[in-house]
């Protein structure tokens, strides 16, 4: 539906939709991380459709639905605000859509946006504002010239790379099956212009955020990951615009058929590779599909910790321990901004847990990351002396060496009281 605005052909819209799998971040990366970004992409497309629908014929219902989409998108991921602001600028500077800002019913957009956000805002009002500020904007200092240069290089090179290999296939088939472009219809031309302006405005806002990160050192995801986390909206709206421009210049049947075939073929290859990654683990692979939390839970149960309170810095550890040890409690201090609910079993043992790094025996695992000092030092624990090691072997893959993960846990009378206090508080 979103592509029909710029492509104006159901056949080509379907082919371009399938071709999203040719974008590396969509076809591959999204299976490994950025799950929130998938919700962001869905919200962005819904925003695009609702905004153009409202601009064409403003009604109270359409205004309210547009607001709901904005509110839901912000709840999915706060960087959705970049998309909202960018599309808002594009609508304001485009003569055909500018009048919607003078429409009184546009105020209902605000009402619709507030509705999904209100429950979260009411909950947030109960949290210490200083704590919310520290968790929202991590403290930082100005970045070194070397790191700033690296961040700028990653961002600049990320702009063209985020379109690969999609743009290569699209341009190749456009070259192979050209046609003389007819004049676009007015709605199609307006949609292409809006998508282009939205992508440009998003790029400007991201550049401004990057400059702020350089000045403060407070980039939420670190400089090296900035492009990966923030370039998705740019590439999505740029793809809408590019698809519209290319659709006017290609033979619909031959171009659409070839693009759909190559997209399905690539999707099949990705499926086979992803499926194989559960059974084939090369030594240098970072895949952690086979990280055996079930075996870790068994090892902890044998140590009498099947119903313990675990305190860790890893949300992954805390979440998996909760799954595999249903009678235990686990919390990650790095992922909380409020105290957990009271413990119904106050006398359960309390354990500090960290690690999980893996290696191929007999090699030793790397040092824990984050360092245990990040957990132990604020608690007044001198060091990790006396910590128990829990070694867990991964399932043996069909191809590749078997790996072993090592966790560390600290417990005992000298740890228990302090561990209980931080577990009850939910934060350092």
d(CA 67, CA 260): 34
Residues 84 and 199 both lie in one domain = yes
Q: Which two tokens stand for residue 160?
A: 């063209």
Please indicate, yes or no, if residue 244 is contained in any of the structural domains: yes
Residues 272 and 297 both lie in one domain = no
399: buried, middle or exposed (CB in 10 Å: 19+, 13-18, 0-12)? exposed
Enumerate residue ranges in the chain where pLDDT < 70.
Answer: 31-36, 128, 131-145, 147-148, 151, 182-186, 213-214, 216-230, 277-290, 334-338, 369-370, 378-385, 427-428
Bridge partners (DSSP) listed for residue 178: 250
pLDDT of 338: 66
Would strands 350-359 and 309-312 be described as parallel, antiparallel, or unpaired?
A: parallel
Please indicate, yes or no, if residue 286 is contained in any of the structural domains: no
Please indicate, yes or no, if residue 70 is contained in any of the structural domains: yes
Of 230, 249, 276, the one marking the end of a domain is 276
pLDDT of 415: 82
Tokens 């695992």 sit on residue: 365
Please indicate, yes or no, if residue 285 is contained in any of the structural domains: no
Q: Which two tokens stand for residue 37?
A: 């970004």
Residues 335 and 271 both lie in one domain = no
Residues 253 and 383 both lie in one domain = no
Phi, psi (degrees; rounded to nearest 5) at 359: -155, 175
Residues 151 and 226 both lie in one domain = yes
245: CB partners within 8 A, 6+ apart: 192
DSSP 249: T
The alpha carbon of 221 is separated from its chain's Cα centroid by a whole number of angstroms, namely: 10
pLDDT of 147: 67
125: buried, middle or exposed (CB in 10 Å: 19+, 13-18, 0-12)? exposed
Bridge partners (DSSP) listed for residue 329: 309
Residues 268 and 323 both lie in one domain = no
Domain extent at residue 329: 293-425
HSE (CB half, 13 Å, CA atoms) of 146? 0
Of 245, 276, 307, the one marking the end of a domain is 276
Cα-based torsion angle of the residue sequence 269, 270, 271, 277 in order, rounded to the nearest 10 degrees: 110
Q: Is 124 within 8 Å of 79 (Cβ atoms)?
A: no
Residues 263 and 365 both lie in one domain = no
Residues 245 and 359 both lie in one domain = no
Q: Model pTM?
A: 0.75
Please indicate, yes or no, if residue 281 is contained in any of the structural domains: no
Bridge partners (DSSP) listed for residue 353: 409
Please indicate, yes or no, if residue 312 is contained in any of the structural domains: yes
Residues 242 and 98 both lie in one domain = yes
Please indicate, yes or no, if residue 46 is contained in any of the structural domains: yes
Q: Is 152 left (phi over 0), alpha (psi -120 to 50) or beta?
A: alpha
Residues 253 and 397 both lie in one domain = no
Cα-based torsion angle of the residue sequence 337, 319, 121, 139 in order, rounded to the nearest 10 degrees: 40
207: buried, middle or exposed (CB in 10 Å: 19+, 13-18, 0-12)? middle
Which of 347, 329, 358, 356 minimizes the C-alpha distance to 426?
A: 329
Of 226, 247, 276, the one marking the end of a domain is 276
Residues 166 and 133 both lie in one domain = yes
d(CA 385, CA 379): 14
Number of domains in the chain: 2
Q: Is 241 within 8 Å of 169 (Cβ atoms)?
A: no
Q: Which two tokens stand for residue 174?
A: 């456009």
Please indicate, yes or no, if residue 287 is contained in any of the structural domains: no
Bridge partners (DSSP) listed for residue 352: 311, 410
HSE (CB half, 13 Å, CA atoms) of 359? 12
Residues 92 and 197 both lie in one domain = yes
């Amino acid at each position: 539906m979103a592509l029909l605005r710029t492509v104006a052909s159901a056949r080509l819209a379907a082919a371009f939709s399938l071709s999203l799998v040719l974008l590396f971040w969509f076809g591959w990366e999204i299976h490994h991380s950025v799950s929130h970004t998938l919700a962001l992409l869905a919200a962005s497309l819904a925003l695009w459709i609702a905004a153009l629908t409202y601009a064409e014929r403003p009604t109270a219902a359409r205004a309210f639905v547009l607001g709901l989409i904005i509110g839901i998108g912000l709840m999915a991921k706060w960087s959705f605000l970049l998309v909202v602001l960018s599309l808002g600028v594009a609508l304001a500077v485009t003569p055909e859509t500018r009048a919607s800002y003078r429409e009184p019913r546009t105020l209902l957009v605000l009402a619709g946006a507030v509705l999904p956000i209100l429950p979260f805002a009411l909950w947030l009002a109960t949290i210490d504002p200083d704590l919310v500020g520290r968790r929202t904007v991590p403290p930082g200092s100005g970045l070194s010239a070397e790191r700033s240069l690296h961040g700028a290089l990653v961002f600049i090179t990320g702009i063209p790379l985020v379109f690969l290999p999609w743009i290569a296939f699209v341009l190749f088939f456009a070259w192979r099956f050209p046609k003389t472009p007819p004049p676009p219809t007015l709605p199609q031309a307006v949609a292409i212009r809006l998508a282009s302006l939205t992508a440009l405005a998003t790029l400007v806002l991201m550049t401004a955020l990057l400059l702020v990160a350089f000045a403060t050192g407070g980039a939420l995801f670190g400089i090296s990951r900035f492009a990966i986390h923030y370039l998705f909206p740019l590439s999505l709206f740029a793809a809408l615009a590019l698809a519209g421009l290319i659709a006017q210049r290609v033979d619909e049947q031959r171009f659409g058929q070839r693009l759909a075939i190559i997209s399905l073929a690539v999707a099949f290859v990705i499926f086979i590779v992803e499926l194989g990654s559960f059974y084939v683990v090369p030594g240098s692979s970072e895949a952690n599909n086979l990280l055996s939390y079930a075996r870790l839970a068994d090892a902890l149960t044998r140590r009498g910790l099947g119903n313990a309170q675990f305190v860790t810095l890893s949300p992954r550890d805390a979440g998996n321990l909760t799954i595999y040890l249903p009678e235990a409690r686990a919390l990650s201090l790095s992922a909380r901004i409020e105290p957990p609910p009271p413990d119904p079993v106050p006398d359960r043992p309390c354990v500090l847990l960290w690690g999980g790094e893996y290696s191929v025996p007999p090699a030793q695992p790397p040092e824990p990351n984050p360092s245990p000092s990040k957990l132990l030092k604020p608690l007044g624990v001198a060091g990790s002396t006396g910590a128990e090691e829990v070694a867990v072997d991964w399932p043996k893959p069909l191809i590749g060496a078997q790996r072993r993960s090592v966790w560390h846990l600290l417990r005992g009378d000298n740890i228990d009281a302090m561990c209980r206090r931080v577990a009850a508080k939910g934060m350092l």
